[in-house]
């Protein structure tokens, strides 16, 4: 027998147990019983639950291949029995299968221990040493090799040691009752009316009450609730375990509170039309529409934070917040999604906005269609499964239209922090997405059809905004997308635009040759190479220059020297690259170190897809060390004090936070070790800052692009090896350390606000001490607090 208890919590006088069990054969019948401490049976409910997403795949990966069919029996269980904390109750879970029996005891002390961080940490460590983990590891070894397996194991153990259990972390950050009371007393100058639109369908009484009660507890009172009940009551067989009928619950709330209204549709019109019916119920006075699901919950301060955003950000059209997940027992919160500020390229990769989603009523009406009966259609049936995604994309398109005009006078633009005036992100988990056995939050297999609808939603969005999309492919996994664009031809030549590849070099010609030839082996052929020679000392370097220029006419060597070089003593990356740009003929500039090697042939084409856009100033790539470990996956301002690359040290095969390392997205900066930019934009920005000779010049350049209103895009499908600054050496002398520190100060004085206020493409709840997007250790750094550096006191 194998078994595990995943969840054991007490809620509203009930002990809720979730887990799985099976015998020698996965289809053997498993019996469950719960008794008290004296062996008497305790009445309750036991239901089988879907666990194919994890248990079957982990323990019986070849079952379907061997037997010609999937496992028929659900291996999970949900058990619900009476239990009251503090009354010395004892419950014994008995599991029987194949003539064997297992007993698991629960009492107050055991339950407290079970839900502690220490227990969860111990469970994770034990999971690393069981036989199933060995089997999974062997499979991973066969697919990815020993180095990848070793890196994954190391990071797994480190993650267990360093991670902070969200449920406990959240409790330390919860809003206090005093703060909630102060919110209730707040009178805003502008008091928007929020209309919360909820489609309901066969909702259990418990979950429906949870949602409605969470709305009644809102500290901001100006709202209305519009529920469209699509439950088919004619001939309905209603399982008593689900409690009262949805309409009975809704009638109760409508009688109790005039802000609650409902409509019985009489039939299930489909998720889109059910939602449309709920939205159309909004009163004429409604200023904003709030979309919510029938079995989720809102934080009590959710609408207050939305109202505050409306008052602080005049002209806001779309508001969204962070979210987390809540178990079906309404006791355990998990998987928080701490989001970036508005990030259109990430939105085209995945519906990261999702919940909480609030949209201005006038804007929503402006993007609505009209059906044959003259009714407004907001969500479209053609995108069922991704109907919210389609609506969010259309709403953001409309909300972005005023950004260009508003950004010009924005202080945030000049500081490099502007993302959108019309679309605002509230960096708080205001929405709790319920994850139970039929929820896509925990089991995406329930709605696989949604991913195809999402692909169409992205493709149609890109066509509407005028981008030359050819197709939208599957991204890192289902629900993530990879748009493919056509490269626009140079109107003067009728060919793909010329890219000037600028490579500073001092000796190390083996690496340089690899860099040139690997890029020429890619699928983008319109290239010229500008090698900026910087005081090479080896004879073989000069011989190589002569040889390569004869062999490859597209390669030119220009020498950095004379009076201009004397003005910048030592190594000055900025001045050297600025000099190289003056010799470039291309419309586009690829800044590349001499220790870069192309991996994916389409990499430069992937970068060109984005830099050809008018709103994009630069595009960076995913860079790996030779051992397949990430060296760069975008840059976060504030990491380590100034800036640092995301996900450094994580193996390329490992998952990262919300798959961010493998999603196309906007960042504040990318590294110029491999960065594509327009020449016209480079010149408009003033090139690289020569006062930043070695460090942070590329980050400063990206910030200057951001101050011009241009986006900086990270594209993980552009994939290169980076052998890390071989030609420059380490910061290993007192002189180099002093120069590095001086450049830290110079950079901070140029861009103090983003270091003080935080990177808009990162989140204040995530740490600045590591690059793997984990929660802050609240004993060391408070949410939103800048990274402490003595050298920056008085600046940041």
For the stretch 711-757, pLDDT in tens is 999 999 999 999 875 444 445 567 777 888 899 999 999 999 999 99
Residue 401 has pLDDT above 90, yes or no: no
C-alpha 117/C-alpha 636 separation (Å) is 29
Q: Which residues contact 706 (CB under 8 A, 6 or more apart)?
A: 413, 416, 417, 418, 617, 668, 712
Residue-wise pLDDT for 240-272, tens only, equals 666 889 999 999 999 999 999 999 998 999 999
Most confident stretch, 55-69, 116-130, 142-156, 549-563: 549-563
Strand partners, 358: 290, 319
Model pLDDT, residue 437: 36
Closest CA to 702 of 720, 676, 722, 721: 676
User: Highest mean pLDDT range out of 489-493, 646-650, 667-671?
Assistant: 667-671
What is 310-378 written as a DSSP string?
Answer: HHHSTT--EEEEEEEEEETTS--EEEEEPPPS--HHHHTTS----SSEEEEHHHHHHH-EE-TTS-EE-
Between 38-42, 158-162, 630-634, the lowest mean confidence (pLDDT) is in: 158-162
State the Cα–Cα distance between residues 24 and 1, nearest whole angstrom.
7
143-147, 191-195, 269-273, 444-448 — which one is most confidently predicted on average?
A: 191-195
Q: Find the mean pLDDT for residues 509-530.
A: 96
pLDDT-derived band of residue 164, with 50, 70 and 90 as boundaries? Answer: low
- The distance of Cα 586 from the centroid of its chain, to the nearest Å, equals 35
Pair 140, 151: CB distance under 8 Å: no
pLDDT number for residue 44: 83
Give me the mean pLDDT over the 212-225 stretch. 98
Specify the pLDDT at position 59: 74
pLDDT at residue 329 in the model: 57
DSSP tag of 660: G
- Mean pLDDT along residues 311-325: 95
Q: What percent of the chain shows pLDDT beyond 90?
A: 64
State yes or no: pLDDT of 132 exceeds 50: no
Please compute the mean of the pLDDT values over residues 429-457 and round it to a whole number: 70
524 alpha carbon, distance to own chain's centre: 30
Would you place residue 236 in the very low, low, confident or very high pLDDT band (cuts 50, 70, 90)?
low
C-alpha distances in Å from residue 44, one per residue of 14, 93, 299, 790: 9, 12, 30, 60
Under 8 Å between Cβ of 8 and 114 = yes
Sequence-ordered list of residues with C-beta below 8 angstroms from that of 131, at least 6 positions apart, any chain = none
Q: How far apart are CA 46 and CA 31, in angstroms?
A: 10
215 versus 781: the higher-pLDDT residue is 215
- Angle at which helices 509-520 and 539-551 pack, to 10 degrees? 20
- Who wins on pLDDT, 612 or 150? 612
More confident residue, 731 or 185: 185
Which residues are CB-neighbours of 788 under 8 A, at least 6 positions away?
A: 641
| pLDDT tops 60 at residue 119 | no
Residue 569: pLDDT band by 50, 70, 90 thresholds?
confident
Average pLDDT over residues 334-363: 96
Give which of 657, 18, 81 is closest to 327, Cα–Cα: 18
**Residues 589 and 672 sit within 8 Å (Cβ to Cβ):** no
More reliable by pLDDT, 61 or 604 = 604
pLDDT for the residue numbered 123: 56
Q: Which two tokens stand for residue 595?
A: 């220790």
Q: Which of 728, 679, 721, 677 is nearest to 519 (CA)?
A: 721
């Amino acid at each position: 027998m194998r078994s595990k208890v995943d969840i054991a919590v007490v809620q509203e006088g009930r002990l809720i147990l979730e887990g799985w069990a099976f015998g020698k054969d996965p289809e053997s019948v498993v019996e469950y019983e719960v008794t008290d401490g004296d062996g008497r049976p305790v009445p309750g409910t036991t239901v089988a639950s879907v666990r194919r997403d994890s248990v079957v795949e982990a323990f019986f990966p070849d079952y379907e291949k061997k037997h010609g069919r999937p496992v028929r029996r659900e291996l999970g269980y949900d058990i619900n029995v009476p239990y009251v904390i503090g009354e010395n109750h004892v419950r014994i879970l008995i599991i029987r299968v194949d003539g064997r029996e297992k007993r698991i005891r629960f009492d107050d002390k055991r339950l407290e221990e079970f839900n502690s961080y220490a227990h969860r940490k111990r469970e994770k460590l034990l999971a690393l040493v069981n036989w199933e983990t060995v089997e999974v590891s062997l499979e991973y070894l066969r697919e990815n090799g020993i180095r990848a397996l070793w890196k994954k194991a190391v990071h797994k153990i480190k993650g267990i040691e360093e991670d902070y259990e969200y449920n406990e972390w959240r409790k330390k950050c919860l809003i206090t009752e005093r703060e909630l009371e102060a919110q209730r007393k707040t009178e805003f100058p502008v008091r928007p009316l929020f209309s919360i639109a909820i489609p309901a369908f066969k909702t259990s009484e418990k979950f429906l009450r949870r949602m409605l009660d969470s709305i009644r507890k809102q500290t901001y009172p100006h709202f209305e609730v519009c529920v469209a009940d699509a439950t088919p009551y004619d001939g309905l067989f209603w399982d008593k375990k689900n409690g009262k009928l949805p309409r009975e619950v809704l009638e109760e709330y409508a009688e109790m509170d005039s802000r609650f209204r409902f409509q019985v549709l009489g039939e299930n019109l489909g998720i889109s039309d059910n939602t449309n019916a709920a939205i159309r119920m909004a009163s004429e006075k409604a200023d904003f529409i709030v979309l919510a699901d029938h079995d989720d919950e809102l934080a009590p301060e959710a609408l207050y934070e939305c109202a505050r955003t409306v008052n602080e950000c005049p002209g806001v059209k779309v508001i969204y917040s962070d979210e987390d997940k809540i178990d079906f027992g309404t006791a355990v919160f998990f998987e928080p999604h701490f989001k970036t500020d508005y990030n259109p390229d990430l939105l085209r990769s995945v519906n990261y906005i999702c919940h909480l989603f609030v949209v201005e009523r006038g804007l929503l009406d402006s993007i609505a269609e009209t059906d044959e009966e003259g009714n407004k259609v907001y969500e479209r049936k053609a995108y069922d499964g991704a109907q919210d995604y389609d609506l969010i994309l259309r709403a953001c398109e409309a909300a972005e239209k005023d950004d260009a005009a508003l950004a010009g006078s924005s202080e945030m633009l000049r500081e490099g922090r502007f993302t959108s005036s019309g679309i605002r992100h509230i960096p708080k988990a205001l929405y709790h997405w319920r994850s139970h056995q039929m929820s896509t939050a925990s089991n995406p297999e329930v709605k696989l059809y949604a991913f195809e609808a999402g692909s169409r939603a992205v493709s149609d969005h890109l066509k509407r905004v005028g981008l030359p999309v050819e197709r939208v492919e599957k991204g890192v996994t289902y629900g993530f997308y990879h748009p493919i664009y056509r490269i626009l031809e140079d109107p003067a030549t009728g060919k793909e635009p010329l890219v000037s590849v600028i490579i500073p070099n001092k000796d190390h010609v083996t690496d340089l040759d690899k860099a040139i030839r690997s890029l020429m082996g890619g699928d983008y052929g319109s290239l010229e190479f500008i090698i900026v020679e910087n005081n090479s000392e080896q004879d073989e370097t000069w011989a190589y220059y002569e040889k390569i220029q004869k062999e490859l006419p597209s390669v030119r060597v220009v020498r950095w020297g004379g009076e201009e070089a004397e003005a910048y003593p030592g190594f000055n990356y900025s001045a050297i690259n600025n000099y190289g740009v003056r010799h470039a003929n291309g419309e586009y500039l690829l800044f590349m170190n001499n220790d870069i090697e192309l991996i994916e042939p389409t990499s430069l084409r992937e970068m060109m897809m984005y830099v050809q856009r008018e709103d994009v100033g630069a595009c960076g790539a995913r860079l790996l060390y030779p051992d397949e470990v990430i060296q760069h996956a975008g840059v976060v301002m504030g990491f380590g004090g100034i800036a640092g690359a995301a996900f450094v040290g994580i193996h390329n095969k490992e998952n990262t936070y919300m798959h961010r390392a493998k999603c196309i997205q906007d960042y504040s900066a990318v590294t110029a070790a491999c960065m594509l930019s327009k020449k016209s934009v480079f010149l408009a920005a003033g090139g690289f800052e020569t006062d930043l000779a070695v460090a942070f010049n590329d980050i400063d350049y990206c910030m200057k692009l951001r101050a011009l209103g241009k986006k900086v895009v990270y594209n993980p499908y552009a994939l290169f090896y980076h052998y890390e600054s071989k030609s420059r050496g380490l910061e290993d002398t007192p002189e180099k350390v002093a120069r590095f520190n001086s450049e830290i100060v110079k950079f901070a004085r140029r861009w103090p606000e983003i270091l003080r206020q935080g990177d808009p493409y990162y989140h204040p709840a995530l740490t600045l001490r590591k690059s793997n997007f984990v929660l802050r250790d609240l004993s060391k750094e408070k949410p939103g607090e800048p990274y402490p550096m003595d050298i920056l006191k008085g600046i940041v």
